[in-house]
Chain A
Amino acid sequence: MNEQEKPFKHPSFYPGDAVETEHPFSLYISCWILLFVLSAFSYMVDLMEVQGYLRWFLVTIFAFLKAGLVVGVFMHMAWERMAFLYAITLPPLFLLALVGILAVDGAFVYYIRDLFMSLTGS
Chain B
Amino acid sequence: MKELIFYIFLYIVFCLLQFSFGKYLNICGIFPNFILILIVYLGLSKRTINAQILGFLLGLTWDVFSPNVFGVRAIMFASMGYFTGLLGKNFDRDKISTQCVVVLFSNIIYWLGFNFTYYILPNGGSHTSFTFITLQGTMRLIVTVIIAPMVFYILDFLIDYMGRET
Asked if A pairs with B, the answer is no
Q: Give A contacts to B, CB under 8 Å.
A: none
Q: Give B contacts to A, CB under 8 Å.
A: none
